[in-house]
Amino acid sequence: MRPGPGGGPYSVAMSKGRLEAFSDGVFAVIITIMVLELKAPHGADWQAFRPLLPMFLTYALSYVFLGIYWNNHHHMMHASDRINGAVLWANLHLLFWLSLVPFVTGWMGENHFAPLPTAVYGGVLFMAGVAFVILEGRLLDAGNPRLAEAVGKDVKGKISAVLYLSAIPLAFVNELIADGIYVFVAMMWLVPDRRIEKKLSAPS
């Protein structure tokens, strides 16, 4: 899916507010329906509880990833003033990959981190990372000098993408390596992005 038609003439007509509101809605639904993958066990004893543990862990991990994306999305849009048609589609493209997170979370959790679901999980995260970089690019193309100043070269985004990509084959070697990579990337992003912060902490 191409990120969509080039933006020029749309620039004036777009409203950032509605894009944010729609994205927030999609984020809210994705992060919440993920819990539907946690199927209530039919028994009520500890036996019934045990298979829930890997599911709960993947749920928590995916929740953190989606929280990070929402956070970064929030900051990126906050530093932007102009959007256009290309931005709209790049944003939908990002949400597409994020919308697959509940599905791969359920699949990985149900199969106790088996290699294939673990690799597919990495693939979806990789595509979401790529989509985020594309969205950043479209926002810069649309002319957002405050964002341009703040973002620099987005090293962290690129490192994440490389790590996700490497997790895909490594899941077939040992799925624990891939799982470790996912946890590491999550940690890396939980540390706030000093670059954007610094620029934006000046009164706007």
CA distances from 110 to 56, 86, 107 (A): 10, 37, 5
Contacts of 12 (CB under 8 A, 6+ apart): none
Count of residues near its own copies by CB under 8 A: 81
φ, ψ dihedrals at 126, nearest 5°: -60, -45
Q: Output 5 or 162, the one with its CB closest to its own copies.
A: 5
If DSSP codes are grouped into helix, strand and coil, which group holds residue 53? helix
Smallest gap from residue 135 Cβ to its own copies (A): 14
Q: How far is CA 82 from the centre of its chain?
A: 22
Query: Looking only at residues 42 through 81 of this chain, which bind its own copies when binding is defined by CB under 8 A?
Result: 42-46, 48-49, 60, 63-64, 67, 70-71, 74-75, 78-79
- Residues in contact with its own copies, shown as a per-residue x/- string from 17 to 36 under the rule CB under 8 A: -x-xxx-xxxxxxxxxxxxx
DSSP annotation of 41 reads: P
Query: Looking only at residues 93 through 152 of this chain, which bind its own copies when binding is defined by CB under 8 A?
Result: 95-96, 99-100, 102-103, 106-107, 110-111, 114-117, 120
CB 24 within 8 A of CB 59: no
Termini Cα distance of the chain: 36
The answer to whether 197 contacts its own copies (rule: CB under 8 A) is yes
For the chain, how many residues are written? 204
Smallest gap from residue 32 Cβ to its own copies (A): 4
Stretch that binds its own copies, among 8-16, 127-135, 155-163, 164-172 (CB under 8 A): 8-16
Query: Looking only at residues 145 through 184 of this chain, which bind its own copies when binding is defined by CB under 8 A?
Result: none
Smallest gap from residue 38 Cβ to its own copies (A): 5
Q: Output 28 or 162, the one with its CB closest to its own copies.
A: 28
Please select the residue that binds its own copies; options are 38, 57, 148, 177, rule is CB under 8 A: 38
d(CA 178, CA 181): 5
